[in-house]
Structure 1
Amino acid sequence: MVKEAVEEAKKTAEATKEEAAEDEAKEAETEDSKESDTEEKKSGKKLFGKKDKKDKKDEKIEELTDRLTRQMAEFDNFRKRTEKEKSQMYEVGAKDIIEKILPVVDNFERGLDAVKEEDKEDPFIQGMEKVYKQLMTTLEGIEVKPIEAVGQEFDPNLHNAVMHVEDENLGENIIAEEFQKGYMYRDSVVRHSMVKVAN
């Protein structure tokens, strides 16, 4: 029994020696491969002596991606530009229509100012006043508003001075009288006020 135990111990010792030798050989191989990889990286060459070049497919993909990005940016700019042009065209069209309606408003005001006090109860005159008020309400609804003039300081951006008068009761560059009412559409002037300026 002792002999058998000794033989088994010898066998296990030999087996462990063989395993250790195999492990050392594997470690040596891995170190050699690492060294060769680092040498290849330093020299800039891959296996089989090929240089580091981009694949033609990758170059084509990059080129097409770049073209697509540029075209999308151009389209976005075109869309923004056309939207801006459309809104400007709408503004111009709206101002043109308002300019054509304003003489009708002027005639309504002149006609209603000419009515005598005793005739104001006439149903026809009252009907005309209602039509005039409705017209003015509609214009206000589309952001058309009259420019304030009398008693205001003269502003060349809003008023058109056609007369000048010396008046001690009024300050310098104050509007004394309005001959024709001016109107604004949103933030732009459709028609300047025709005014007389004092001092």
Structure 2
Amino acid sequence: MVKEAVEEAKKQAEETNAEAADEDVTKENPETDSEAETEQEAEEKKEKKSFFKKKNKKDPKDEKIEDLTDKLTRQMAEFDNYRKRTEKEKSAMYEIGAKDIIEKILPVIDNFERGFQSVDEEKRKDPFVDGMDKVYKQLMKTLEDAGVKQIEALGQEFNPDFHNAVMHVEDEEAGENIVVEEFQKGYMYRESVVRHSMVKVAN
């Protein structure tokens, strides 16, 4: 019995010493557990960061779509600019062509007017003269509808944009720089001059 009691006491002493040793180790290294936890948290943060980085990175398909969309937008803008430029060029070409035709018709109008000036008043009612007068009026109406109008010159102040001065005269009755005579009528097509008026300017 004494022997068993001694062995029991010995076991208890060993167990007590082992627990004390564990406590000493814990006291000596109190940061060990916290360091392990800190490392684990750091790993988790790294994983989260890498996860978000992967998520923020654009998909190649999305990049391709954006690239194609940008190219399409640029091409549409270029096409719109080309269309506007073409329309402007067509309009300019049409106006140039119209002015060219009008310039060729103007001498015909001049001849009509010269012919009427040479006709006596007695012959104004002649059927032929009357017929030519109607043709002349119809021609002028057609040109007017197309945008052709005569430049006002007689009695107007001289304007080099519309008038071409070929003679100058001193006239006390006329104002300064005033057109007193028109040798050849001038015409405009829309807003541009087809032919300047040939005039005499006073003072």
What TM-score, normalized to structure 1?
0.77
1-structure distance, mates of 2:55, 2:146: 71
Deviation at 1:117, TM superposition (A): 1.1
Please say if residues 159 and 193 of structure 1, whose CA atoms lie closer than 8 Å, have aligned partners that are also in contact.
Answer: yes
| Separation in 2, partners of 1:72, 1:91 | 29
Residue 53 of structure 1: CA displacement?
1.7
SS at match of 1:145: strand
In the alignment, is residue 74 of structure 1 matched against residue 78 of structure 2?
A: yes
Cα distance change on mapping 1:45 and 1:100 into 2, 3 Å: same
* Matching residue within 57, 64, 67 for 2:61: 57
SS at match of 2:188: strand
Separation of aligned partners in 1, 2:54 and 2:147: 74
- Are positions 1:98 and 2:76 aligned together? no
Match of 2:50 among 24, 45, 50: 45
Q: Which residue of 2 is the match for residue 176 of structure 1?
A: 180
Aligned amino acid, residue 160 of structure 1? N
**Number of residue equivalences:** 162
Match of 1:5 in 2: none
Structure number with greater Rg is: 2
* Correspondence 1:151-166 to 2 at 5 A: 151-166=155-170
Of 143, 147, 164, the residue aligned with 1:139 is 143
Q: Does residue 93 of structure 2 align to residue 89 of structure 1?
A: yes
For residues 121 and 79 of structure 2, the distance between their equivalents in structure 1, rounded to whole angstroms, comes to 65
In structure 2, do the counterparts of structure 1 residues 117 and 54 end up closer, same or farther at CA, with 3 Å as the change threshold? Answer: same
Aligned-residue Cα RMSD (Å) equals 2.1
Question: Residue 126 of structure 2 aligns with which residue?
Answer: 122
Structure 1 runs not aligned, ≥5 long: 1-34
Instruction: Give TM-score, length-normalised by structure 2.
Output: 0.75
Between the aligned residues of both structures, percent identity stands at 73
Encode CA deviations 1:31-52: one digit per residue, 9 max, x unaligned.
xxxx99x9579x64217x8473
Which runs of at least 4 in structure 1 moved beyond 6 Å after TM superposition? Answer: none
3-state SS of paired residue (1:169): coil
Structure 1 CA distance for aligned equivalents of residues 54 and 115 of structure 2: 96
